[in-house]
C-alpha cells in the first residue's frame, strides 16, 4: 500500500500504526508534518512543510484560526503536487483534522480515500467551555468565536470518507450529521511497556525518592486549569499537612497547554507556589520526562491523580491504569468511560479539593482496596485499550479503505 499520514506534529497519534505499516517493505509510507526535529521512524519518509506566513494581525478574530488553517493546507498542497508530479498517488491519506493540513487533499487526489483522525469538535455548551460554573460568564463574542473555530474541521468532515475518534465522549461532540461517518477506535496503549513492577522505587537524575513511603503522582502536558492543576495543588495543602511522609511528583512542563493563564499573567506553577501555603520541599517538579523515566514514576506511584474538564482524554490516564496505578480521577467525561468508581479507580468531584485530598487518603490507607483497584485498572486496559488488540483493528480499517490502482512509486 501507498499511504500518506498528515499531522503537524509528527508522529503523534500515528506513531504505532505508521511504524507497523513501515515494517512491510511492500508498503510506501510518507508522513507530512511541520515537525522537523522529531525522531525518525524506520521505513517512513518524512516530508516537512512550512506555511508561507501566519494570519495577518488585521484578520478578524473569528477567522484567524481559519486563515492559519488555509495557510497550512496550502503548504501541504505544495508537497502533494510534488508527489503527484513524480507519479506517486496514495492509496489512502490519513490526516488529523482541525489544523487545516488535510483540507485540500481531495482536490489533489480526488480518487484517494481520506481517513480523518477526529479528536475534538468545539462546542460551547455542555462541554469544557461552560464546565466551570464559578467562572465569569462567556461573552457573546467568545461564544461566536468558538463556533467559528470549527470552520476548517467542517470542510475536512465534508470531504472525508471515514473518521476515527478515541472515545465515545469525543464522538458525541461531533455534529449529528457526521457521526455515522466516524467510528470509535482508540489509539491503543502499549501494555507490554506500561506494566506494573512490584516494589518499584523512584530514582531519577537529580531526584532520589527510593526511600519515600508515599508518592503521589500527577502527569500532564502542562500545568493548567483544563487538567485541574490548581485544584490538585490546593488538595495537596490539605493532604501534606496530615501526612508528613508523603511526597509529590509532578511530571509536566511549566506551560499552559489548554485554557487561560492565571491572574497577572504568571504561569500556574508560579501562581500556585505564591498563593498556596504547603511544604513545597516535598513537591517535586520534573518537567517532561523521557519514556523510561516517566514509566518509573508510574510504577513507583502510591496514588496517581488525574483531573480533567470534559475534554480530550489524556493518554497518560490509560498508561497509568496499564501500569497498575491506583488512580484518583475526576468524575467527568470521558474519564467515566475508563474508570468505574470503586472498581478500577476512585472518582471525585473536579472542583472539591477537600474531597480530592480525602480520596487520596482513602486510597493510601486501605491496602486491600488499593490492591483490588490496581488489578482491575490493569485488566481494564488489557481488555479495552491494549495496542495489541487495537492496532490490528486500525490496520484492518486502513486496508478496507485503501485503493490499489497501480504499482507503488518511490516517495
Q: pLDDT tens digit string along 233-253?
A: 999 999 999 999 999 999 999
Q: Is 188 left (phi over 0), alpha (psi -120 to 50) or beta?
A: left
**What share of the chain has pLDDT > 70, as a percent?**
99
d(CA 72, CA 229): 32
**Is the domain of 162 the same as that of 229?**
no
Instruction: Kindly report the CATH number assigned to the domain that includes residue 92.
Output: 3.40.50.2000
- What tens digit of pLDDT does each residue of 286-319 get? 999 999 999 999 999 999 999 999 999 999 999 9
**Is the domain of 75 the same as that of 99?**
yes
**Is the domain of 37 the same as that of 87?**
yes
**Is the domain of 378 the same as that of 394?**
no
**Is the domain of 378 the same as that of 395?**
no
> For residue 411, is it within any domain?
no
Residue 129 banded pLDDT, cuts 50, 70, 90? very high
- Determine the 3-state secondary structure of 22 from DSSP: helix
> For residue 410, is it within any domain?
no
The total number of structural domains in the chain stands at 2
**Is the domain of 271 the same as that of 346?**
yes
In whole angstroms, how large is the CA radius of gyration of the chain?
22
Residue keyed to cell 510506501: 28
Average pLDDT (35-45) is 90
> For residue 162, is it within any domain?
yes
**Is the domain of 394 the same as that of 378?**
no
Contacts of 50 (CB under 8 A, 6+ apart): 34, 75
Task: Write the CA distances from 7 to 101, 199, 278, 295, 316, integer angstroms.
Answer: 7, 39, 42, 26, 20
DSSP H helical segments within 149-228, as ranges? 151-159, 168-173
Are the CB atoms for 345 and 325 separated by under 8 Å?
A: no
**Is the domain of 135 the same as that of 251?**
no
Are the CB atoms for 170 and 120 separated by under 8 Å?
A: yes
d(CA 263, CA 41): 42
d(CA 250, CA 297): 9
Residue 281 banded pLDDT, cuts 50, 70, 90? very high
> For residue 196, is it within any domain?
no
- What tens digit of pLDDT does each residue of 140-180 get? 999 999 999 999 999 999 999 999 999 999 999 999 999 99
d(CA 214, CA 80): 53
> For residue 52, is it within any domain?
yes
Average pLDDT (106-112) is 97
Instruction: State the DSSP string of 357-409.
Output: HHHHHHHHH-HHHHHHHHHHHHHHHHHHTBHHHHHHHHHHHHHHH----SPPP
Cross-strand bridge partners of residue 207: 204
**Is the domain of 154 the same as that of 255?**
no
Assess whether pLDDT exceeds 80 at residue 404: no
Tell me, what's the pLDDT at 408? 54
Nearest-CA neighbor of 80 among 110, 42, 116, 54? 110
d(CA 388, CA 398): 16
- Cα 212 from chain centroid? 30
Backbone angles phi, psi at 410, to 5 degrees: -75, 135
Question: 246 is in which domain, residue-wise?
Answer: 203-385
> For residue 211, is it within any domain?
yes
Contacts of 159 (CB under 8 A, 6+ apart): 103, 105, 106, 114
Is omega for the bond preceding 115 within 30 degrees of 0, making it cis?
Answer: no
Tell me, what's the pLDDT at 405? 55
Residue 411 banded pLDDT, cuts 50, 70, 90? confident
Are the CB atoms for 393 and 20 separated by under 8 Å?
A: no
> For residue 291, is it within any domain?
yes
**Is the domain of 34 the same as that of 137?**
yes
Are the CB atoms for 71 and 59 separated by under 8 Å?
A: no
Contacts of 161 (CB under 8 A, 6+ apart): 113, 114, 115, 181, 401
Nearest-CA neighbor of 31 among 63, 3, 73, 60? 3
- CA dihedral angle for residue 372, residue 378, residue 383, residue 385, rounded to 10 degrees: 140
Assess whether pLDDT exceeds 90 at residue 401: yes
> For residue 76, is it within any domain?
yes
Tell me, what's the pLDDT at 266? 86
**Is the domain of 88 the same as that of 220?**
no
According to DSSP, residue 181 is labeled G
Assess whether pLDDT exceeds 80 at residue 386: yes
**Is the domain of 147 the same as that of 212?**
no
The strand pair at 203-204 and 207-208 is best described as: antiparallel
Average pLDDT over the chain, rounded to an integer:
95
Amino acid at each position: 500500500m501507498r499511504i500518506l499520514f498528515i499531522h503537524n506534529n509528527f508522529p503523534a497519534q500515528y506513531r504505532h500504526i505508521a511504524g507497523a505499516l513501515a515494517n512491510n517493505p511492500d508498503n510506501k509510507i510518507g508522513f507530512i508534518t511541520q515537525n522537523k526535529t522529531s525522531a525518525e521512524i524506520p521505513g517512513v519518509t518524512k516530508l516537512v512543510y512550512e506555511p508561507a506566513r501566519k494570519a495577518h494581525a488585521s484578520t478578524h478574530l473569528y477567522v484567524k484560526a481559519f486563515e492559519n488553517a488555509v495557510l497550512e493546507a496550502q503548504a501541504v498542497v505544495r508537497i502533494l503536487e510534488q508527489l503527484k508530479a513524480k507519479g506517486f498517488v496514495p492509496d489512502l491519506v490519513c490526516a488529523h483534522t482541525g489544523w487545516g493540513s488535510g483540507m485540500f487533499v481531495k482536490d489533489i487526489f480526488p480518487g484517494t480515500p481520506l481517513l480523518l483522525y477526529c479528536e475534538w469538535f468545539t462546542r460551547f455548551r455542555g462541554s469544557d467551555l461552560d464546565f466551570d460554573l464559578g467562572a465569569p460568564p462567556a461573552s457573546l463574542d467568545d461564544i461566536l468565536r468558538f463556533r467559528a473555530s470549527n470552520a476548517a474541521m467542517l470542510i475536512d468532515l465534508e470531504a472525508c470518507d471515514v473518521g476515527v475518534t478515541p472515545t465515545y465522549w469525543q464522538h458525541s461532540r461531533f455534529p449529528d450529521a457526521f457521526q455515522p461517518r466516524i467510528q470509535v477506535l482508540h489509539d491503543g496503549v502499549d501494555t507490554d511497556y506500561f506494566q506494573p513492577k512490584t516494589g518499584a522505587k523512584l530514582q531519577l537524575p537529580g531526584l532520589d525518592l527510593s526511600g519515600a513511603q508515599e508518592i503521589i503522582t500527577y502527569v500532564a502536558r502542562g500545568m493548567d486549569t483544563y487538567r485541574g492543576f490548581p485544584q490538585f495543588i490546593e488538595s495537596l495543602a490539605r493532604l501534606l499537612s496530615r501526612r508528613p511522609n508523603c511526597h509529590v511528583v509532578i511530571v509536566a512542563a511549566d506551560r499552559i497547554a489548554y485554557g487561560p493563564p492565571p491572574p497577572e499573567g504568571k504561569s500556574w506553577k508560579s501562581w500556585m507556589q505564591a498563593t498556596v501555603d504547603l511544604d513545597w520541599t516535598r513537591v517535586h517538579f520534573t518537567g517532561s520526562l523521557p519514556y523510561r523515566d516517566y514509566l518509573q514514576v508510574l510504577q513507583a506511584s502510591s496514588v496517581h491523580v488525574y483531573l480533567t474538564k470534559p475534554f480530550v482524554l489524556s493518554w497518560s490516564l490509560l498508561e497509568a491504569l496499564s501500569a497498575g496505578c491506583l488512580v484518583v480521577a475526576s468524575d467527568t467525561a470521558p474519564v467515566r468511560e475508563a474508570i468505574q468508581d470503586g472498581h478500577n479507580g476512585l472518582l471525585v468531584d473536579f472542583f472539591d479539593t477537600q474531597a480530592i485530598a480525602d480520596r487520596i487518603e482513602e486510597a493510601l490507607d486501605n491496602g486491600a482496596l488499593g490492591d483490588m483497584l490496581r488489578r482491575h485498572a490493569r485488566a481494564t486496559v488489557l481488555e479495552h485499550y491494549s495496542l495489541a488488540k487495537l492496532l490490528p483493528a486500525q490496520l484492518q480499517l486502513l486496508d478496507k479503505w485503501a485503493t490499489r490502482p497501480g504499482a507503488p512509486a518511490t516517495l
